[in-house]
Amino acid sequence: MRAQVLVGPQVCRYCAAMSEPLVVIDKVNKHFGDLHVLKDIDLSIDKGEVVILIGPSGSGKSTLCRTINRLETFESGSITIDGKTLPDEGKELADLRADVGMVFQSFNLFAHKTILENVTLGPIKVRKTPKAEADKRALELLDRVGVAHQKDKYPAQLSGGQQQRVAIARSLAMNPKVMLFDEPTSALDPEMVNEVLDVMVQLAKEGMTMIVVTHEMGFARKAADKVVFLADGEIVESNTPNEFFSNPTSARAKDFLSKIL
Ligand code: ADP
Ligand code: MG
């Protein structure tokens, strides 16, 4: 019984309560030419916390995700992951980046590799995991997201929802400390949205630290600890899902919610 409690979500609520920050974004500024796309972004995400990033199109949500992963550079401020500050380049950056899983709107699977190979490639190449061990772990992960029976197929033979679940398994295979999701369901046919969200809700329950860009309010209410509302590159509001959805304080958040709810 006790062991179950230790691996269950309870322990992670405990971690969150201890306020142990895993990702710390401190006064980050970024421009694209003249466009000031991230303005003094301050955001701290605790271990096991699930943060939803929401905001109008063009407000900088994708750029912020890409910046956390250092797919984008930034001019000032710092980003720390598990106590380590993101360097500009080199092996240390590659190591830190491997700790940050990212799932995009488009699934980006390798078209000419099987589902199993898509999941084992990173562990074998980057983590130097022996193939037999990588295969075993990949099968466990594919089973967890419900597509183990598709392991020998190629991405094009799977539905969008199945491909996105493979993309999640592929990220998890690297044992990331934090997972970023940038609108993971917005390219899916409506009937496939829930099968992907269910996997994400499960991950959140298991205590994964997650930053999720999504307009899926059901998911936000079910899984999020915090909703961060971004507009014009600024964090305008940050609150619990209940408070944010029922009592938005800023005019911009009220306006945004009136359009999407
Ligand atoms: P969101 O994900 O919230 O819709 P983005 O982060 O994609 O917003 O974009 C924020 C702003 O930065 C937008 O005005 C967008 O046009 C601009 N932008 C994004 N990527 C680039 C880029 N590579 N070069 C120039 N401008 C960009
Ligand atoms: Mg975006």
- For residues 157-170, give the mean pLDDT: 97
Q: Provide the percentage of residues in the chain whose pLDDT is more than 70.
A: 93
Model confidence, pTM: 0.91
User: Which CATH code for domain 23-259?
Assistant: 3.40.50.300
Complex ipTM > 0.95: yes
Query: 60 alpha carbon to ligand 2 midpoint, in Å?
Result: 7
Secondary structure in 3-state letters for 84-126: EECCCCCHHHHHHHHCEEEECCCCCCCCCCCHHHHHHHHHHHC
Q: Provide the percentage of residues in the chain whose pLDDT is more than 90.
A: 80
- For residues 64-86, give the mean pLDDT: 92
pLDDT class of 2 with cuts at 50, 70, 90: very low
| pLDDT score at 4 | 35
Decide: 258 in ligand 1 pocket, CB within 6 A.
no
- For residues 39-56, give the mean pLDDT: 97
Using the predicted structure, report yes or no on whether residue 27 has a pLDDT greater than 90: yes
Query: Atom 7, ligand 1: which residue's CA is nearest?
Result: 62
| pLDDT score at 261 | 76
Using the predicted structure, report yes or no on whether residue 46 has a pLDDT greater than 50: yes
Using the predicted structure, report yes or no on whether residue 10 has a pLDDT greater than 70: no
- For residues 28-38, give the mean pLDDT: 97
Residue with tokens 């309560």, as numbered in its chain: 17
| pLDDT score at 95 | 77
Decide: 61 in ligand 1 pocket, CB within 6 A.
yes
Bridge pairing between strands 209-213 and 50-54? parallel
CA of residue 29 relative to chain centroid, distance: 21
- For residues 19-30, give the mean pLDDT: 93
Query: Atom 26, ligand 1: which residue's CA is nearest?
Result: 32
- For residues 167-188, give the mean pLDDT: 96
Domain boundaries, the chain: 23-259
Query: For residues 91 and 80, which has the higher predicted lDDT (pLDDT)?
Result: 80
Query: Atom 23, ligand 1: which residue's CA is nearest?
Result: 32
Query: Atom 15, ligand 1: which residue's CA is nearest?
Result: 58
pLDDT class of 107 with cuts at 50, 70, 90: confident
* Residues paired with 209 in a beta bridge: 178
Decide: 32 in ligand 1 pocket, CB within 6 A.
yes
The DSSP code for 157 is G
Decide: 59 in ligand 1 pocket, CB within 6 A.
yes
| pLDDT score at 7 | 37
